[in-house]
Structure 1
């Protein structure tokens, strides 16, 4: 078995979800903490020591020349997952970073700059609702007070969950000292679409991350008895929510290239024989042009207000996260393309820590082929051979950057 695949095989049973299928590895939960223990052990086998910073990011450094920890080349990804996600979203980048380090050593590489390996927490935002939370805190893209007040579906705050994981909530926030160490950041990730399948190529260089955001719609109605309340007497927020989901699809279809998704909807109190009193739904909107994203959200919000009025309900809309379209650093992008001349260039509609870091440091990404073209699902896949090809490509890029 190729080495990258062997690393992934060691965690193949961690966080399996018997109900949804795939993997559920929310931040600070048992499965994610078990993955971090595996990662720290793998670092130890390579003579490296992992250190968790005040924002929950795990760093390790390969620096045989003893150079000052600045202008470093950094690579890595995340270990958390969406509910019922695939095996490769995040962990492939982490395993590939370890394998790339092994390849550099096998080749006798003598780095002129430090190499950093990083694992970022809550990249998916599956537990606390804001994606790339670790990198947002690091860069100052989110205020620590807002982050600490975020709650998961059980009502646990991010502050309490972090405290339970051994972190000090008072330390969260922008970290200029950590950022000053990073000369550039290169993230490898499994492709989350079928660009490489259609191009018949194992590895691509990313050109950009499409702008995206997440908005919470809260529809307020009248909770009541399902058997005694006539239809004409109802103020049903779940009916409004259902119509908003349909409206989002219709509005998005009128703006070519838009992706609009409602993947989570929570009725309160949630009883089978109860008319809900409140419904929360989350709208995810993405488009290469940020103005189009804003227009789509505005139109869906307008329609939601109209639909709520008809049903005798009200609706509130709150932005939870917003990341404008990111074009990766041109010089770094060209350098990667020079090292990997046969690799196609791809834009991605998925968000990544590299996209958040791009505001503060030069960043780039590599994608490894996913033959199913499916992600955030148990059907996500990467062959053992392609996983190894991705690690080799990452090692080639790192070797060039470390020279």
Structure 2
């Protein structure tokens, strides 16, 4: 659906992305879901097309374009019908490389950002640990400085692209206190001694993205691989969370559009009691409710990305977008399965995958409960 934030150049870009997805992604989705990962060739291909560097500066091989253009790509990728594809690519460009772009130095950008934009290296962000998820300040992984290195010890879990990444942006404690001022970010190459990957995790949804456990056993990280200033990692993580949350909301919108389109089409083709499902008023109204729910999420999210593109503080807007869109997609995909009836429960119909993929949205990137707690403070409900 068109919206005023998208200009002619954005819509032209959308058309090219749609063609690419129809031709080179959709035909492979079922295989990638079985494989539990997207192939490295997809990163290379998207790098060739400039899709991995949309927002990054031209001096590092990026497109130097606005975040609205990036939003188009995120939304369209979700419409491929497999959330894991967007998750794998988004973790690379949106949350791992973005930390290097925003907080890293020129040398780090040339060494890691440039090949990442080309699709030659795959990156991942490692924050979540077995002992906790949403509470970033409670991480236990440590990085102790010894001469020209930091000695990294600990573990991470639920890491998107954690199995196949070439380098990982890792959050670790560089001192015990004070809280929120004791975490630093490091670029860790996955072929370094002491770095290891556990099993590839089996997931309910997002199956086409590899998700793994990673372990650090006295990994020697050169001091030049510290991103930004020591002890400022928590602040930087929080800053980057805003775009991650908008990205997840955009993914919800793309998937919601696909689920609604498939459901409307199915309702016109499926015959029950000698007439199509679309002629049953109760089902028509369900689809209207789905469309209205989707439109609410769309406008909340588009406003957030518009303000973010202008450089404004969008903590409240991004949090609202993430909270609402994540719950919206659960409702919309659930209704899509319901309207598909027994077929919706069968693996042959993609709507079951939409429903499975939707479930992570209210968990990843901060749970809905965490979003609501942030909003109680931002709105002055809780001082």
Fold agreement, TM-score > 0.5 = no
TM-score by length of 1: 0.29
Normalised to the residue count of structure 2, the TM-score between the two structures is: 0.30
- Larger proportion of strand: 1
Q: RCO greater where, 1 or 2, for CA within 8 Å and sep 6 or more?
A: 1
Larger helix share, 1 or 2: 2
Larger radius of gyration: 1
